[in-house]
Chain A
Amino acid sequence: KQEVTQIPAALSVPEGENLVLNCSFTDSAIYNLQWFRQDPGKGLTSLLLIQSSQREQTSGRLNASLDKSSGRSTLYIAASQPGDSATYLCAVVYMDTGRRALTFGSGTRLQVQP
């Protein structure tokens, strides 16, 4: 079964720390991997999308890497701020379907303490 796993499930850090969120997927045949942010009671906000041919993407304080061979992605957040507190979801589009639907991990709930 094609799955996506995220660890840790929850993380609490003091403001200013750099942190890494981990995502692993079971099949290296993917189209792309996408990181989302979800605030309580809200929808999903796309943060970064990495195509299967790419190794990383950067946006501001965020950097996402992709290693298809090991089935892993990391989301690096530099100089964390209280406003970064949210649930971060990793999602993969596996190649064996034509629909391009996302398979989601269960998320990492991040709390940045001021």
Chain B
Amino acid sequence: GAGVSQSPSNKVTEKGKDVELRCDPISGHTALYWYRQSLGQGLEFLIYFQGNSAPDKSGLPSDRFSAERTGGSVSTLTIQRTQQEDSAVYLCASSLRRQVGHQETQYFGPGTRLLVL
């Protein structure tokens, strides 16, 4: 079956513009994560969705970042008024959440490479 897909694969934008990044998780996966990978910072968690529960936004770096997940499937990460320090690879992952003790392998998409000029 299809893996996690993300679009666009690359995005170049000007400082101050808004951008939207899309993630299509693996069908049937109830958990969805956004991570960011930037030079010098490594991979860091941004936001987590689980089913119909309220998302865990504790990793979002500022209020310019927001995300939504419609219908429990596709997710969009929005960055408003982009800054140069937002330049990074944004990775989406999904997992088939089960009860504690069962495997929860996270499967990653190819990422969106964002460059803010």
Chain A residues packing against B (C-beta within 8 Å): 31-32, 34, 36, 42-46, 49, 51, 53, 89, 91, 93, 97-107
Chain B residues packing against A (C-beta within 8 Å): 4, 31, 33, 35, 42-45, 48, 50, 56, 58-59, 91, 93, 95, 97, 100-101, 103-111
Q: What is the distance, in angstroms, from A48's C-beta to the closest C-beta of chain B?
A: 9
18 additional A-B residue pairs with CB within 8 Å, beyond A42-B111, A102-B45, A107-B42: A31-B104, A44-B93, A46-B106, A46-B108, A53-B101, A97-B56, A99-B45, A99-B48, A99-B58, A100-B31, A100-B95, A101-B45, A101-B56, A102-B93, A103-B45, A104-B42, A104-B43, A106-B42
Provide the bound-state CA to CA distance between A52 and B59, in Å. 24
Q: Which residue in chain A gives the minimum CB-CB distance to B33?
A: A101
Q: Which residue in chain A gives the minimum CB-CB distance to B45?
A: A101
Q: Is the CB of A43 within 8 A of B110?
A: yes
Q: What is the distance, in angstroms, from B69's C-beta to the closest C-beta of chain A?
A: 14
Chain B residues with Cβ below 8 Å from A36 are 108
Q: What is the distance, in angstroms, from B104's C-beta to the closest C-beta of chain A?
A: 6
Q: Is the CB of A102 within 8 A of B106?
A: yes
What are 22 residue pairs bridging A and B, where the CB atoms are less than 8 Å apart in the complex? Answer: A31-B100, A31-B104, A32-B103, A34-B105, A34-B106, A36-B108, A43-B4, A43-B108, A43-B109, A43-B110, A44-B91, A45-B108, A46-B108, A89-B43, A99-B45, A100-B31, A100-B104, A101-B56, A102-B93, A104-B42, A104-B43, A105-B42
Provide the bound-state CA to CA distance between A101 and B107, in Å. 12
**Which residue, of A31, A46, A93, has the highest number of chain B Cβ atoms within 10 A?**
A46
Q: Is the CB of A100 within 8 A of B101?
A: no
Which 10 pairs, one residue from A and one from B, show the smallest C-beta to C-beta distance?
A: A104-B43, A44-B108, A101-B45, A43-B110, A99-B48, A99-B56, A43-B108, A106-B42, A49-B105, A43-B111
Provide the bound-state CA to CA distance between A51 and B4, in Å. 23
Chain B residues with Cβ below 8 Å from A43 are 4, 91, 108-111
Q: Is the CB of A99 within 8 A of B103?
A: no
**Which residue, of B44, B59, B91, B108, has the highest number of chain A Cβ atoms within 10 A?**
B108
